[in-house]
Structure 1
Amino acid sequence: MILGPVGMILVGLASIGFWRLKRGVGFRYFVLGGLTMISAITPKLILDLTATSALSSWAEATFGSTGWLILVGAYVGLRTGFFECGFTYIAFSKTKLRNMSLDEAIAFGVGFGAFEAVLIAIPSLIQILVFMTNPSILDALPPTERQMVEAQLSMPTWIVPAPILERVFTILAHVFTTLLIFSSVREGKTTLFLGAFIYKALLDGVIPYLQWVLKPSTSPVGTYLAEVWVVFMGLLALAGILRAKARTSQRKRWVCRCVGRDKDVGGEPVYELQTP
């Protein structure tokens, strides 16, 4: 099980290394993306520590299981869209980051996703190491929690690729929404920001339902079935990224510009092909 979080960390680091070597992008863009991610998840963590549990209990008691799933799913999705897209929008609209190149904007999104992968993996890695080195700690846990932890620790080896796969496609999702928000700021198109918001809200909003139905924390098969949604959304993100790159390439078409006049032919204008 220790290979899962280790693999997640390696995915984060490898994604940064790959894009930096491929495009020669400055390391600071990855860091800025990571810092924006930390800024975005901080209020989410505060909500989880203060209001989320109470809201979940109230929704289940008031509306039953179906209403609870709908309300909590909407809460999780809208919260992600609001904070993650909102902080990214602020970073682009209020700083010189609006002048980044496409490659630098991709680096920002990679940093956002890579830092998230590392920060999610580290607590899991520490927990596994603690239980492996001191199994007696399990005896001090409440019966229900102990049963859940034991089920997680006894997962088969073939479950290891699941969280690694999830991080790969989640990083693609972060890059895609970063490009949408970046283009929204550069072009002044609110619809692009709304697209990023809706995409992230859908990506996270379905998770409570998947966790409730598939029990991925204790079921190996359920884990992989839950990842189908992440893979699907990640593939949509990849298509969006490729489209954004193609769109940028089309803008770099050759144009004809007047560069002067030829005195030998009666002052006729002289043109040459240049990039805009």
Structure 2
Amino acid sequence: MISWLNLLSGLGMVTVGVGAMVYWYYKKRISPVYFILGGILWAIAIAIKVVMDVTVSAALAQQAMIIFAPLAASVLLGLYYGLRTGILESGISYLTVRFTKLSKSGFDEAVALGIGFGGTEAALLGLLSLINTAALLMMPELVATLPASTLEQFALIMVPVPIIERLFTLFCHVFATVLLVYAARFHALIWLAVSILYKTLLDGVLPISSYLLAGMGTYAKYGIIELFVIVMGIIGLAGLLWIRKKWLTRAPEGNRTIE
């Protein structure tokens, strides 16, 4: 049964996205322009993904399931969706940074760009969740049309799950963004490759896990997937601490705002 408490999921996701921007702004006094630019980079990548989804992605997925065994098809689709995310999100962002003044960003500005990227995603997904949940609450007759697997996602035990996912995914976005800005600023393409591979792994695991975990219950399946996201987020946080030291070693003025 859907209750008003389910709105907390959407509110929490919005809080993660907006709260991260507010926190970093007041902590570092970063220009809001960096958050806006990060959001724009996210929107560009998502727009291209949407175009691919309505043109080639569905056909590729269908052909893969026909030609290959289910496990092989899942792995190939994981590589496709993972590389698509890595190349579009990190690759396009790198080109934008490399050929603009963003290539002179300090570490704090690079973090702000990543927060704008991941925070925009979290906030908009939260708003979408709020709208969908509110619509179901105001039109309960729609609930009867939902499959059982979807209704399980509205169990109260699931309320914090998307909030936790968005928080740790935000850490992932920030780390990947800082890597690509570092690559652009210091002309070290190896770190762009790491950024792309990191996001490839983050997104590419989903199709594979969907196949491998198909026989599990909803809660167990979500638990394993969320654990993976948490681990990736922790890696991202640890990576941020490491790349900050590396950054400031090469550029002691690395936190200085672009003038």
The normalised TM-score by structure 1 is 0.84
Structure 2 residue 186 is matched with structure 1 residue 181: no
CA contact (8 A) 1:214 1:223 kept: no
After TM superposition, the structure 1 = structure 2 runs for residues 226-265 of structure 1, keeping only pairs within 5 Å, are 226-251=225-250
Structure 2: gaps (5+ residues): 1-5, 253-259
Residues 21-45 of structure 1 deviation map (CA, whole Å, 9 limit, x = unaligned):
1111011101100110001111111
The C-alpha deviation readout for 1:192-212, integer Å capped at 9, x for no partner, is 111111111011100112233
CA distance in 2, matches of 1:200, 1:98: 21
Residues 4-35 of structure 1 deviation map (CA, whole Å, 9 limit, x = unaligned) = 12111110011101111111101110110011
The equivalent of 1:147 in structure 2 is: 148
Q: CA RMSD in A?
A: 2.1
Query: Residues 52-83 of structure 1: CA distance to partner in whole angstroms, max 9, x if unpaired?
Result: 22221211111121122111101110100110
Question: d(CA) in 1 for partners of 2:147 and 2:234?
Answer: 37
Shift of 1:121: 2.2
Cα distance in 1, alignment partners of residues 167 and 153 from structure 2: 22
SS at 1:192 equivalent? helix
> Residue 232 of structure 1: CA displacement?
1.1
SS at match of 1:206: helix
Q: Is the 8 A contact 2:105 2:185 kept in 1?
A: no
Q: Does 1:37 align with 2:37?
A: no
Q: Which residue of 1 aligns with 2:166?
A: 167
1:219 to 2:224 alignment: no
Secondary structure of residue in 2 paired with 1:201: helix
- Aligned residue for 1:188, secondary structure, equals coil
**Aligned letter for 2:151?**
E
Instruction: Identify the residue that residue 53 of structure 2 maps to in structure 1.
Output: 48
Structure number with higher strand proportion: 1
Q: TM-score, normalised by structure 2?
A: 0.89
Deviation at 1:222, TM superposition (A): 1.9
2:30 aligns to what SS in structure 1?
Answer: coil
1:5 and 2:13 aligned: no
Taking the aligned partners of 1:167 and 1:128, their CA distance within structure 2 comes to 18
Contact 2:78 2:208 in 1 (8 A): yes
> Distance in 2 between the 1:252 and 1:206 partners?
35
Q: 1:213 deviation in Å?
A: 3.4
Q: Is the 8 A contact 1:184 1:191 kept in 2?
A: yes
Partner amino acid for 1:20? Y
- Report the number of matched residues: 248
Match of 1:132 among 108, 118, 137: 137
Answer yes or no: is the 8 Å Cα contact 2:9–2:163 preserved in 1. yes
Indicate if the aligned counterparts of 2:149 and 2:218 stay in contact, CA closer than 8 A: no
Distance 1:211 1:33 in 2: 30
Larger-Rg structure? 1
Identify which of 91, 111, 116 aligns with 1:106.
111
1:95 aligns with 2:100: yes
Contact 1:216/1:223 (8 A) holds in 2: no
% same residue: 34
Cα separation, 2, equivalents of 1:168 and 1:204: 16
Q: Residues of 1 paired with 2:114 and 2:126: CA distance?
A: 18
How many Å separate the matches in 2 of 1:18 and 1:249?
Answer: 22
The separation in 2 between residues aligned to 1:189 and 1:158, in whole angstroms, is 45
**Residues 129 and 217 (structure 1), Cα distance of their counterparts in 2 relative to 1, 3 Å cut:** farther
**Shift, 1:252, TM fit:** 6.3
Q: Secondary structure, in 3 states, of the residue corresponding to 1:25?
A: coil
Distance across 2 between alignment mates of 1:86 and 1:152: 34
- C-alpha contact (below 8 Å) 1:5/1:125 kept by paired residues: yes
The aligned residue for residue 195 of structure 1 is 194
Does structure 1 retain, via aligned residues, the 8 Å contact 2:107–2:244?
A: yes
- 1:148-188: CA deviations, max 9, x gaps? 433333x2x22222111111111111111111111111111
